Amino acid sequence: MKKLSLLLFFIPTIVLANIPVKNTTIPGGIAVIDFETNHSNPKAFYNNMPLYVQHIKDQSWQVLVGIPLLEKLGKKTIKVQDTSTRSFNFEVTEHAYTEQYITLKGKNKKYVNPNLAHMDRIKSERPVLSSARKIFSTDALSDGLFTRPVNGVTTSPFGLKRFYNGQARRPHTGLDYAGDTGSPIKAPANGKVILAGEFFFNGNAIFLDHGQGMISVYIHMNERLAKQGQQIKQGEVIGTIGQTGRATGPHLHWGVYLNQTVVNPNLLMGKEL
């Protein structure tokens, strides 16, 4: 597997893209913070992490903050830097996610208790996957609401508390859509392919960069049709539904990261939780 060259860019730019998102201050949600400035390139940070900043109109701007699924409840603070440094607060409130119990049998048991060879592979893949999630490019490539990547029904919602063969695992970090093997997967927004490969848990996977720390992931693919470094338009086919990696049937797992934090993709499509 080729190593990626992952850089953090801070080239001054005026961000004109605008993704309309409802303020949802729960774990796994997105906090939307409005502010006014006449600065052409304001920046914002949460726990020293750069944030998605979008220009609304005139001197009106917004910050989109991804809230970790395991974030503690209570008051949080972000910093906005323009002509000075200002603080803005938001409150993380409780949200109950449902539970799911999954039984893996036969060859799929290796995904519950991987052997030493599998663990070596998993460890070697972690920094590659982690680096892709950490990319922060200043240009916002997307504008407007995201669209569904596939037409199938949602089989596993975001935030689901999962148990594999009775063993607790981290909450579900995306949306699972059912579909037939080979069904097309379409990009929900403009972006750039920053990672395309085959991984132990994820199987065939593609990562798209939408700018300013917004990264979307597509895993368990049958085929990867988009290539590393390729510019992608909304609605363009990037791959097909499959059952690779840790999957009990053909489906697409779609995840979205914002400031290195998984958030509910439904919020980017203008849906209620």
What is the structure's pLDDT at 154? 94
Q: What confidence category does residue 111 fall into, taking pLDDT thresholds of 50, 70 and 90?
A: low
Integer CA distances (angstroms), 193 to 45, 53, 226, in order: 25, 22, 7
- DSSP assignment of 142-155, as one string? --S----S--SPEE
Instruction: Provide the mean pLDDT of the chain.
Output: 88
Q: Between 239 and 138, where is the model more confident?
A: 239
Tell me the helix, strand and coil percentages in the chain, rounded to 5: 10, 40, 50
Share of the chain above pLDDT 90, in %: 69
Flag whether pLDDT at 55 surpasses 80: yes
Please indicate, yes or no, if residue 10 is contained in any of the structural domains: no
What is the structure's pLDDT at 236? 98
pLDDT tens sequence across 17-42:
689 999 999 999 999 999 999 999 99
What is the structure's pLDDT at 17? 66
Flag whether pLDDT at 232 surpasses 90: yes
What is the structure's pLDDT at 12? 38
Please indicate, yes or no, if residue 203 is contained in any of the structural domains: yes
Q: What confidence category does residue 4 fall into, taking pLDDT thresholds of 50, 70 and 90?
A: very low
Number of domains in the chain: 1
CATH of the domain at 217: 2.70.70.10
Integer CA distances (angstroms), 123 to 95, 109, 133, 170, 189, in order: 32, 19, 16, 17, 31
183: three-class secondary structure by DSSP? coil
Flag whether pLDDT at 91 surpasses 70: yes
Q: Between 143 and 217, where is the model more confident?
A: 217
Please indicate, yes or no, if residue 174 is contained in any of the structural domains: yes
Please indicate, yes or no, if residue 171 is contained in any of the structural domains: yes
Please indicate, yes or no, if residue 59 is contained in any of the structural domains: no
Tokens for 115, please give them: 């052997």
Q: What confidence category does residue 13 fall into, taking pLDDT thresholds of 50, 70 and 90?
A: very low
What is the structure's pLDDT at 15? 46
What is the structure's pLDDT at 269? 96
Please indicate, yes or no, if residue 185 is contained in any of the structural domains: yes
Residue numbers of the domain that contains 244: 99-269
What is the structure's pLDDT at 107? 58
Please indicate, yes or no, if residue 64 is contained in any of the structural domains: no
Q: What confidence category does residue 16 fall into, taking pLDDT thresholds of 50, 70 and 90?
A: low
